[in-house]
Amino acid sequence: MDEPRHEESARGIFGSLRTLLDRVLTLLQTRTELITTELEEEVTRLVGVLLWSFAAVLAALIGTCFIGVVILLAVPESYRALAAGILAILFLAFAAFGYVSIRRIARAKPRVFDASLTELEKDRQQLRGDR
């Protein structure tokens, strides 16, 4: 008679361990799916930013070259060297402004996997009982 209770107790412990393992694996699967989704979004965003940046820089470069040529042709010959120097300074100032703007944009974006890390921290707090 003592054996069935021991068997039920053993099955109860193993059942509890299986349930716990199942919950942990489900939690890991959910978090992995969240990380994967965030990674896909980050890669898509990065590719878009790179493509549009390349297109914008190329268009700006071609446009500024044409503007510079038109200005140099419009200025009298005796002032062309001065006009070329002024244009070079303006273009370099614009390039510096673009560099500063890109750095500001790059620093302002949220950290990678922020939502996943936040959810993992919540999970840790719940496991500790910190609610």
Q: Mean pLDDT: which of 18-22, 71-75, 101-105 is highest?
A: 71-75
pLDDT band at 89 (very low <50, low <70, confident <90, very high): very high
128, part of any domain: no
pLDDT tens, 35-77?
888 889 889 999 999 999 999 989 988 998 898 899 999 999 9
Name the domain count of the chain: 1
Residue 18 in tokens: 């299986």
Kindly tell me if the per-residue pLDDT of 126 is higher than 80: no
pTM for this model (two decimals): 0.46
129, part of any domain: no
Range of the domain at 83: 2-121
Question: How many whole angstroms separate alpha carbon 2 and alpha carbon 71?
Answer: 102
Spell 68-86 as b/e; 16+ CB within 10 A means b: beeeeeebeeeeeeebeee
61, part of any domain: yes
Task: Give the model's pLDDT for residue 91.
Answer: 87
DSSP string across 19-55:
HHHHHHHHHHHHHHHHHHHHHHHHHHHHHHHHHHHHH
130, part of any domain: no
- Tokens 């068997």 locate to 7
Kindly tell me if the per-residue pLDDT of 9 is higher than 80: no
Question: How many whole angstroms separate alpha carbon 116 and alpha carbon 62?
Answer: 42
72, part of any domain: yes
Q: Which of 100, 106, 73 lies closest to 87 in space, CA to CA?
A: 73
